[in-house]
Amino acid sequence: MLNGYVEIEVFDNDLNAEIAKGILAENGVEAMIGKDDCGGMLPNLQVTQGVRLYVLPRDVEKSERLLKPITADQSAENAEAVLMWRCSNCGEILEPQFTSCWKCGADRDRSSV
């Protein structure tokens, strides 16, 4: 535990951890990232030690449910494909950074995350 926070996942790199943290933030979950890269001088330490994601104990279950699609396969090759989402209104496949459909304007359906 880190200052009352619980570790819920260890990622291979910063990018995947930041994406996960963003997904949690969009859903009202406060999260912290813990990593050691010697102030940016040794980024390779993240490969051996990982990048840790922490949430408050009350948010563990919700966080695990929200992150299940991306933690199932953390490989760099598949991370983007896992995070793609389908618009529930028109069926368009969209990249993870979009919160609404570019084609029809419908908001992302969070219940399918």
- When divided into structural domains, the chain yields a total of 1
For residue 48, give its domain range.
6-112
Confidence class of residue 112 from pLDDT cuts 50, 70 and 90?
very low
Higher pLDDT, 18 or 84: 18
pTM over 0.75? The answer is no
Tell whether 31 is covered by a domain: yes
β-partners of residue 31 are 55
Q: 26 or 77, which is more confident? A: 26
Assigned domain for 98 exists: yes
Phi-psi region of 19 (alpha: psi -120 to 50; beta: other; left: phi over 0): alpha
Please check whether residue 1 lies inside any domain of the structure. Answer: no
In a domain, 83, yes or no: yes
Query: For the segment 8-44, what is each residue's pLDDT rounded down to a tens digit?
Result: 998 888 888 999 999 999 999 999 999 887 777 877 7
